[in-house]
Structure 1
Amino acid sequence: MKAFGKILGLVLLGLLLIIVALGFALTHFFDPNDYKDEIRQIARDKAHIELTLNGDIGWSLFPWLGLELHEAGIATLANPTQPFADLQMLGLSVRVLPLLRREVQMSDVRVEGLNLRLNRNKNGHGNWEDIGKVPPAAAKADAPATGSISEPAAEIPATPEKPTQPIRLDIDSLTVNNARVEYNDERTGKQFSAESIQLSTGPVHDATNIQVKLTAFLASNQPDVRVRTELNGELRFERALQRYQFEDMKLAGEISGEPLQGKIVTFAAQGQLLLDKAANVAEWTGIKISANQLRALGELKVNDLDKTPQISGGVSIAQFDLAKFVDSIGQTLPTMAEGSLSKVELVSRLTGTPTSVALDDINLKVDDSSFSGRIAIEDFAKQSLRVQLKGDTFDADRYLPPTSAEANSAAVARQSEVKSTEADALAGVGSTPLPNAPTKGAWSSDKLIPAERLSKLDLDADLTFGQLTLDKLPIQNAALKATGQGGLLTLENLRGELYNGNFDAKGTLDVRQPVPVLSLQTQISRVPVENILESQGKKPPVKGLVTLNSTLTASGNSQKALIDSLNGTASFVLNNGVLLNANLEQQLCKGIATLNHKTLSGEPRGKDTPFQELKGNLTLRNGVASNPDLKVRIPGMTVTGNGDVDLRVLGMDYRVGIIVEGDKSDMPDPACQVNERFANIEWPLRCRGPLELGAKACRLDSERLGQVASKLAGDKLGEKIDEKLGDKVSPELKNALKGLFKR
């Protein structure tokens, strides 16, 4: 028995030596390089690809089925001379026996110098679409000839196929060095490339974490952008459950190129990625994103991957300097006040679809302002913007562009003209000549309305503010509601409280035509007019509570064009006011003293003229407002007038009449005693000059004063006729004599 065991051992050893010898013979005496043509033909017939083998083929048989390809290329049968892929070397080894159990156990897989070229021609056809396909000409040639009679093929009953078992992967590692992928679209001229691709993994097994590291340089030509990327993490896939995870994902890199104007953006992203195809869910949790100064946290979840994906999640952006961030990515913001957008932070819930996105429950802070509400783009293609925000305080002026150099120059020139006129007007009360009408334009010719951008806007905005500063006006409890569709913007409501008064406005802006058209209706109630003027840096010529109703239209794309085309109507009332630096009593004294042939001996008691009410109606035509019914109620006198306000140069030209209401108390100067003789006489004034001067631009109207003197002289002569003639002549004759002298 012992001898038998020894003999059996020798036999087994001999069989093993024979197997080893056969493997050695197959791998050393059978050279696959001698069969390259046959291998190429098998690739054509079975895989329908054109295989180029310029290098050597190395291989091993047992226990590893090893293969090395050098300088190989792959092309489609439709374009066999234009390979879409080539590589310098592919090396892999597979255990033979596990293949029988549908298990792929591989050693290190190495790919060197892979070059993949994807091209879409001018007809929109991609070269990758022909992979594995037989050219139409070859398919037709292989088809059986028609017209011959042959026996019908026997039908083979179909047998149900057993469900295939999933192949189990077991790879020690995967390494890709110096790979390149290029995409070229001949229709658009766009090109994309990924170069210097380096990929390395740890052991690849199902349902285990696989360490992955990938680096690449990405580029495009439209626009010219270059990106350096590095990706690290642990990949896990469970194919039976259709569940894929990328844990501890870390992506970092730099972006440069034409859109960044020579600047570089350094970016990074982290988190946990999950794709569950069975549940049609994808998630990105533990998000950390940075881009230069920007830092953000959040999470995203996508449901209904098999239908219309639904996005939900949240985002939190830490406080950062938005102005510096925009500059760091090579972009420019409109000119704003220094320090604007230096403190911006955001917390919000996020929802969306492939065509829309919404930020709900917003907590937004911009500099010294806080907002809450919702911002959404309901349709990316239509730019459908929906905004519902509530703010505490917001200074809009600091974010508006300053006036241009041209506008500043025009403003300086006009201000110089106003100051010169004002100095002349104040040189002597009522003694200087009537000021000249202003001639300098008061408005800018700068482009005001971004018509092209607004024509594409689909807007629905609802904004409220505890306090809004706009054009230096402090508006309390401001509310704005506006819509825009197809180039027609509608201001449904703009209202607020201003200096304890209130205002309300609505209107439309039509940019559907070459020249924008504006329509506006306003209501202002009991707002101190002096505060409005002071906020604009102007000295108010009048004080009082103004109430104004107006309906206006205009067209153009600058302040000047809009004012030049301003048309409409308005009515105004100014209550409990004061005409500043304008003593109408002194003007009246001067007229009475002139008629009394006396000289004023004293100075006026005050510089201002208080009034109870100032009102009138305006008809605007091409920037000029006609006011035919100006009325001012002043204690002891009534003032009426008519004239024009030229809004183009902010000038006025009025003829005013003052009526002394009966016998009044003594004036401070005997030369202008008001008695019954001067009661109910309309004393004429002319007001002309810059609108800012107000009543300071008023002077006694010498031409019309002569008519008043003639009337007074006629009245006095009539009294003498009555005294001399008494009842000696008829009333008709006395009236005829009075009328003769009044002429």
Structure 2
Amino acid sequence: MKGLVKWVGGIIAALVILIVLAAIVLPQVIDPNDYRDDISALVKDETGMTLSINGEIGWSVFPWLGLSLNDLQIDDTHQKKLGSLQYAAVEVKLLPLLSRKVKVSKLELKGLSLDMEVNAQGQANWEPAKKQETAQVPTQTSPTPSPSAQEEKSSGSLPEFDISAIAITDLNVTYRDIPAKRTVSITDARLETGAVRPGQPFQLSSSFNLKNTNPVIATGISLEGMITPDSANAMYKAENLKLSVTPLNVSNPETLALRGHAVVKGSDISGDIKVNPLDLALLMQQLKLPVPALSGGDKVLRKVSLGTTFTKKGNRVDLNKVSASFDDFSLNGTIAVTDLKKQAIAFNITGNDLIVDPYLPIATADQQAADKPAQTSGNASGKPSGSTSPASTGDEVIIPVDTIKSLNIKGSAQLNSLTVKGLLFEKPTLEVKAANGNAQVTKLNAGFYKGVIDAAAGVDVSGLLAKRPRVSARADIKAINLEALSAQIVDLKKITGKTNADLKVVGHGLTQNQITRSLNGEVDFSLVDGALLGTNFNKSVCGLVAQVRKEKLTKTDWPDKTEFKALKGSVKIIDGVARNRDLTAALDQLNLKGDGEVNLVNQTMDYHLGLTITGDTASEEESACRINEKYADISWPLRCKGRLGESGLCGVDEQRLGKTIGKILEQEAKDKIRKKLEEKLGGSLKDLFKKK
């Protein structure tokens, strides 16, 4: 038995010696340069391309399996140059490969150029020629490993690498897509490392220039960092990563500088990232990227920064310790993609003072014309200066159905203040959710012009509602100061006071007109300690009284307002028309009752007011309208009619005035008859009836 083992061992030793001798002798005996033509013919036969080996081919077998190539060129199937290589060399130690260890003494690539093109017919020049199909005998294929088996195999440790250095220099690639009229080129690309060994950090340095024609981009990109491979745990660490993007061919280029750390284990990633403050608007201009036309002009996006820690585990990505700044606005919080497949996003953000207006797109001429009357600046007429474009018709689609359908969001935000369209919300709290085509602002609480607002709104485009979305809103408003609010909403400049309101409305449609025409809901409102500016109801009633008495008003300094202690009522909105039947107000020396409607579709109103004098006079300073207390219950009619926003809407209701005068004349006739009877009977009718 011992002899047999010795004999087998001798055979193995002899085989090893033979292999070593062959590895030493073969490179001396066989010259690969003798097979250049055979290699080129094989490439031609298999791909239809032409390979030209113009330089020397070097090779070795033991102890290093090595190959070096010099001066190669390959032409595509149409005999046009596809690529070329100046020099390439690699040496791998042979025996460690048997134990899944890769030991490389040299990995070098220099002067690789590729000229890739998709022609007008959509054919790529790097695709090999199609070989004529030949009948093949079906062969039995091995069964595909089950997913669990594949996962088990892939979950093992990575091959152990030991590379002395990697040097890839002078790499140039051009890609032309003729149908798309686009050319992308990468020039002067390089990748260099130190020794790559398990558990030991190595320095990575790479850079390249990127140019694109559609859109036009010319930039230099570089990446540096310290990489630590851990093959046993299938993990890599990247520390002190520095990525920079710098525009080319410009003076004083603005650089996007990104720093960070990362740990990669399988498909899971964690780390942190920080973008140094930069002038984003200038960077985009220098990169020739389209800069959005924003209302803030060249004063926005001038100082932008970002920082966060991140983790990706399975189907989830978390961004923690998020900090970002845009000019004067800064925010902090967390953002998570809770389901990558469903693109579900959750967030919780806090921030300082956010002014949205400068970041809104510049309105078109039509939009400016439509919005001008609601602005406080500009000419007094409210007409858009420098533009003769007509106002928006309201038939433009304002509900982005596809965008809303794609949303899968749930989150909250708290700010110190929020300004939108000039409206200031103090310490707003916002909660939103959107999924399956139903987007809602479930909560909006904020201080609002010395009062508070609690509101919610939603847009539902799910199912059949995609063709006619449902838009809804509710609001509970308390003690809003209209005088303060009128600085932003011109239409409110004619009224002051503190308002309270409870609003619930719903409409359907894709355009502003469709929504307005279908608007339905209810509004309960009250206004206290206020005034109606531009109209003096006392003067109007005095004028009516004087007209009936056939006298003239002598007072000329009537205040241009009507003060009131309380005004309240309710409104029902049906198909875009708001109707009120119970308006009541306690004015200065008057009581007011009103009814009428406001057509939100046509922006018109027709409202009737009845004013009743409280007491025996309408004005202590105007004798022409003094009346006895028996006329105090007469309702003096006024009417407000016309287009919303116009002046001089309110005046005497001539139609109802005739009935009022008739009632007064009837009362006066009764009084005359009563007086004559009393004269003849020698006493008042009341006393006479009492005696009886």
Instruction: Tell me, yes or no, whether TM beats 0.5.
Output: yes
Matched, 1:342 2:302: yes
AA in 1 matched with 2:547: T
Q: Distance in 2 between matches of 1:379 and 1:701?
A: 65
Matched, 1:483 2:438: no
Q: 1:71 and 1:301, CA in 2 relative to 1: closer, same or farther beyond 3 A?
A: farther
CA contact (8 A) 1:502 1:524 kept: yes
1:612 corresponds to which of 547, 550, 565: 565
Q: 1:674 and 1:320, CA in 2 relative to 1: closer, same or farther beyond 3 A?
A: farther
Q: Distance in 1 between matches of 2:477 and 2:104?
A: 80
What is the aligned partner in structure 1 of residue 454 from structure 2? 504
Q: Distance in 1 between matches of 2:100 and 2:369?
A: 80
Matched, 1:570 2:493: no
Larger Rg: 1
**C-alpha deviations, 1:593-621, integer Å up to 9, x for none?**
01111111221431111101111111112
Matched, 1:291 2:245: yes
Q: Distance in 2 between matches of 1:321 and 1:697?
A: 52
SS of equivalent to 1:587 = helix
Q: Distance in 2 between matches of 1:76 and 1:515?
A: 65
In the TM superposition, residue 397 of structure 1 has moved relative to its aligned partner by: 1.3
What is the aligned partner in structure 2 of residue 583 from structure 1? 536
Q: Which deviates the most, 706-715 or 440-449?
A: 440-449
Q: 1:91 and 1:171, CA in 2 relative to 1: closer, same or farther beyond 3 A?
A: farther
2:662 corresponds to which of 710, 713, 720: 710
**C-alpha deviations, 1:466-519, integer Å up to 9, x for none?**
010012111101111111112110111112001120111112202231233211
How do 1:242-253 and structure 2 match up within 5 A? 247-253=203-209
Q: Distance in 2 between matches of 1:614 and 1:442?
A: 34
**C-alpha deviations, 1:271-297, integer Å up to 9, x for none?**
123432211112222211122334233
In the TM superposition, residue 365 of structure 1 has moved relative to its aligned partner by: 0.8
Q: Distance in 2 between matches of 1:282 and 1:463?
A: 36
2:172 corresponds to which of 216, 235, 245: 216
Unpaired segments ≥5 residues, structure 2: 1-23, 78-95, 128-160, 247-253, 383-389, 687-692
How do 1:365-514 and structure 2 match up within 5 A? 365-410=325-370, 444-512=394-462, 513-514=466-467
Matched, 1:648 2:613: no
Q: 1:75 and 1:334, CA in 2 relative to 1: closer, same or farther beyond 3 A?
A: farther
What is the aligned partner in structure 2 of residue 4 from structure 1? none
Q: 1:672 and 1:177, CA in 2 relative to 1: closer, same or farther beyond 3 A?
A: closer
CA contact (8 A) 1:620 1:626 kept: yes
CA contact (8 A) 2:225 2:242 kept: yes
CA contact (8 A) 1:105 1:171 kept: no
What is the aligned partner in structure 1 of residue 555 from structure 2? 602
TM-score (norm 2): 0.75
1:315 corresponds to which of 256, 273, 279: 273
CA contact (8 A) 1:233 1:246 kept: no
- What is the count of residue pairs matched by the alignment? 584
Unpaired segments ≥5 residues, structure 1: 1-58, 119-161, 194-204, 422-439, 735-743
Q: 1:461 and 1:62, CA in 2 relative to 1: closer, same or farther beyond 3 A?
A: closer
Q: 1:343 and 1:414, CA in 2 relative to 1: closer, same or farther beyond 3 A?
A: closer
How do 1:530-541 and structure 2 match up within 5 A? 530-538=483-491, 540-541=493-494
Matched, 1:273 2:227: yes
In the TM superposition, residue 542 of structure 1 has moved relative to its aligned partner by: 0.6
SS of equivalent to 1:540 = helix
CA contact (8 A) 1:114 1:179 kept: no
In the TM superposition, residue 88 of structure 1 has moved relative to its aligned partner by: 1.5
Q: 1:177 and 1:638, CA in 2 relative to 1: closer, same or farther beyond 3 A?
A: closer
Matched, 1:228 2:178: no
AA in 1 matched with 2:321: D
CA contact (8 A) 1:348 1:360 kept: yes
AA in 2 matched with 1:283: K
SS of equivalent to 2:487 = helix
What is the aligned partner in structure 1 of residue 579 from structure 2? 626
In the TM superposition, residue 704 of structure 1 has moved relative to its aligned partner by: 1.9
Q: 1:336 and 1:447, CA in 2 relative to 1: closer, same or farther beyond 3 A?
A: farther
Q: Distance in 1 between matches of 2:627 and 2:574?
A: 41
In the TM superposition, residue 450 of structure 1 has moved relative to its aligned partner by: 2.5
Q: Distance in 1 between matches of 2:309 and 2:406?
A: 27
Q: Distance in 1 between matches of 2:74 and 2:487?
A: 72
AA in 2 matched with 1:275: P
AA in 1 matched with 2:654: S
**C-alpha deviations, 1:569-589, integer Å up to 9, x for none?**
111111110111211110011
Q: Distance in 2 between matches of 1:711 and 1:419?
A: 44
Q: Which deviates the most, 327-336 or 468-477?
A: 327-336
Q: Distance in 2 between matches of 1:592 and 1:60?
A: 130
AA in 2 matched with 1:511: V
TM-score (norm 1): 0.70
SS of equivalent to 2:366 = helix
1:82 corresponds to which of 39, 47, 50: 47
In the TM superposition, residue 671 of structure 1 has moved relative to its aligned partner by: 0.9
CA contact (8 A) 1:110 1:175 kept: no
CA contact (8 A) 2:192 2:204 kept: yes
What is the aligned partner in structure 1 of residue 211 from structure 2? 255
**C-alpha deviations, 1:398-425, integer Å up to 9, x for none?**
112233212333556999xx9889xxxx
What is the aligned partner in structure 2 of residue 133 from structure 1? none
AA in 1 matched with 2:576: G
Q: Distance in 2 between matches of 1:447 and 1:326?
A: 30
**C-alpha deviations, 1:525-552, integer Å up to 9, x for none?**
1101233232134561110111111111
In the TM superposition, residue 361 of structure 1 has moved relative to its aligned partner by: 0.4
Root-mean-square deviation (CA, aligned residues, Å) is 3.9
Q: 1:212 and 1:639, CA in 2 relative to 1: closer, same or farther beyond 3 A?
A: same
SS of equivalent to 2:676 = helix
AA in 1 matched with 2:223: A
CA contact (8 A) 1:265 1:329 kept: no
2:263 corresponds to which of 302, 312, 324: 302
Q: 1:163 and 1:410, CA in 2 relative to 1: closer, same or farther beyond 3 A?
A: closer
**C-alpha deviations, 1:136-187, integer Å up to 9, x for none?**
xxxxxxxxxxxxxxxxxxxxxxxxxx994678867677455545497999x9
**C-alpha deviations, 1:437-492, integer Å up to 9, x for none?**
xxx98874444233222211111231111010012111101111111112110111
In the TM superposition, residue 641 of structure 1 has moved relative to its aligned partner by: 0.8
Q: Distance in 2 between matches of 1:163 and 1:175?
A: 22
AA in 2 matched with 1:88: I
1:723 corresponds to which of 675, 685, 690: 675
In the TM superposition, residue 702 of structure 1 has moved relative to its aligned partner by: 2.3
**C-alpha deviations, 1:608-639, integer Å up to 9, x for none?**
11101111111112322111111111132210
Matched, 1:561 2:514: yes
CA contact (8 A) 1:64 1:93 kept: no
Q: 1:451 and 1:334, CA in 2 relative to 1: closer, same or farther beyond 3 A?
A: farther
CA contact (8 A) 2:245 2:257 kept: no
CA contact (8 A) 2:277 2:304 kept: yes
Q: 1:63 and 1:402, CA in 2 relative to 1: closer, same or farther beyond 3 A?
A: closer
In the TM superposition, residue 314 of structure 1 has moved relative to its aligned partner by: 1.0
What is the aligned partner in structure 1 of residue 282 from structure 2? 324
What is the aligned partner in structure 1 of residue 468 from structure 2? 515
Q: Distance in 2 between matches of 1:414 and 1:299?
A: 48
AA in 2 matched with 1:82: T
Q: Distance in 2 between matches of 1:280 and 1:60?
A: 39
Matched, 1:550 2:503: yes
In the TM superposition, residue 522 of structure 1 has moved relative to its aligned partner by: 1.2
